Amino acid sequence: NNLDQKTVICEIVESMEYDTFKTFADWEDKTQEILALQAKWKTIGYAPQKMNVKIFERFRAACDEFFKRKAAFFKSVKESMAENLEKKKALCEKAEALKDSTDWKETAEILTKLQKEWKNIGPVAKKHSDAVWKRFIGACDYFFAQKNKATSSQRSVEFENMTKKEEIIKQLAALDASGTTDETTSEQTRALMKEWNSIGHVPFKEKDRLYNEFHGLIDKLFDKLNISASEKKLSNFKSGLNKGDNLYRDREKLVRTYEGLKNDIQTYENNLGFLSSASKKGNTLVTEITRKIERLKGEMELVLKKIQAIDEKLNEE
């Protein structure tokens, strides 16, 4: 009968599982069901008089509950989308502030993190979606395009530097093969070392090969020319200096080392005053300390030259 049919419709509406409606589409699908049930309700005749008003109020209450919950969901989503839009605008501002940066590595890392953060932010209203995305990705794309240009240019310079260093290696190999050990050879070797040290970065994968070839030849020539071990160390140190390194920090370390050596020498020299040169034991100890002092002075001189080398490199910047 009519009451039974209307009761079934009420039960259908009342049994809606609201917790499962997560999207606009979910709510729209159920809205169509509700509208269809309302249309069907109208086709059913009256229920018995004493139940007619009661069953209608039950149906209306169930429908009202549905539309109240739907309105609350839509309001919540709109508020969430508005918050998401503000978050995405904030990311746009951060990306735009970084797009002209030339600190390629650090900025690339930051922008990559911003892109991941963007993905974790929920949706925004369709009318804003395309515009805010284009704004954000536009800033990111601009930076990475500039980075690619600069990196390409840098790679070109690095390959030029590699060619220059390979030419120096060829010249050193020719000097080594000549077998001559005169002053001219010594001067040419030093000149090539100086030229090598003035050349900038090379491709990373070629760095060790070039370094080993260069220093292998330098060591052989130094041995032939009887150049001191101290000068070898200084040469190796200079060839390892790069403008991009933290030269100020290295300089501070060397200054501390220099002061430490200076203090050690002072201590040994003071100790000499307490030793008796009359006894054999005293003579042996005096000789040992004197040698230590000479060795420390040599180390101190090398450290000083390293400091001077850093100063020269800093003055180039």
Amino acid at 173: A
Amino acid at 237: F
Rounded Cα gap, residues 220 and 222, in angstroms:
5
Helices 280-316 + 247-272 axis angle, to 10: 160
- At 278, list the tokens: 């009359």
pLDDT of residue 313: 80
Of the candidates 72, 115, 74, the residue with the CA atom closest to the CA atom of residue 95: 115
Rounded Cα gap, residues 69 and 60, in angstroms:
14
Helix (H) or strand (E) holding 164: helix 126-178
Average pLDDT of the residues in 244-256: 83
- Mean of per-residue pLDDT scores for the chain: 87
Residue 160: how many other CB atoms lie within 10 Å? 13
Residue 199 DSSP label: -
- At 244, list the tokens: 């991009």
Q: What is the pLDDT of residues 112-128, one digit of tens each?
A: 999 999 999 999 988 99
Rounded Cα gap, residues 121 and 85, in angstroms:
9
Rounded Cα gap, residues 283 and 277, in angstroms:
5
With tokens 């805010």, the residue in question is: 132
pLDDT of residue 280: 45
pLDDT of residue 228: 59
> Domain segments of the chain: what residues?
2-124, 155-240, 243-317
- pLDDT bracket for residue 283 (50, 70, 90): low
User: Does residue 278 surpass a pLDDT of 70?
Assistant: no
Q: What is the pLDDT of residues 219-230, one digit of tens each?
A: 888 777 766 566
Percentage, residues of the chain above pLDDT 70: 92
The CA angle 54-57-63, to the nearest 5 degrees, is 145
**Structural Rg of the chain based on CA atoms:** 41
Rounded Cα gap, residues 175 and 205, in angstroms:
27
pLDDT of residue 284: 64
Q: What is the pLDDT of residues 154-193, one digit of tens each?
A: 788 889 899 999 999 999 999 888 888 777 888 888 899 8
User: Does residue 135 surpass a pLDDT of 70?
Assistant: yes
User: Does residue 44 surpass a pLDDT of 90?
Assistant: yes
Are residues 293 and 268 in contact, defined by beta-carbon separation less than 8 angstroms? yes
Q: What is the pLDDT of residues 4-42, one digit of tens each?
A: 999 999 999 999 999 999 888 999 999 999 999 999 999
The CA angle 124-129-132, to the nearest 5 degrees, is 105
pLDDT of residue 58: 94
- pLDDT bracket for residue 197 (50, 70, 90): confident
Residue 17: how many other CB atoms lie within 10 Å? 7
With tokens 């180390």, the residue in question is: 299
Average pLDDT of the residues in 263-268: 90
- pLDDT bracket for residue 241 (50, 70, 90): confident
Q: What is the pLDDT of residues 91-115, one digit of tens each?
A: 999 999 999 998 988 999 999 999 9
With tokens 């160390």, the residue in question is: 233
Burial class of residue 200, CB neighbours in 10 A (0-12, 13-18, 19+): middle
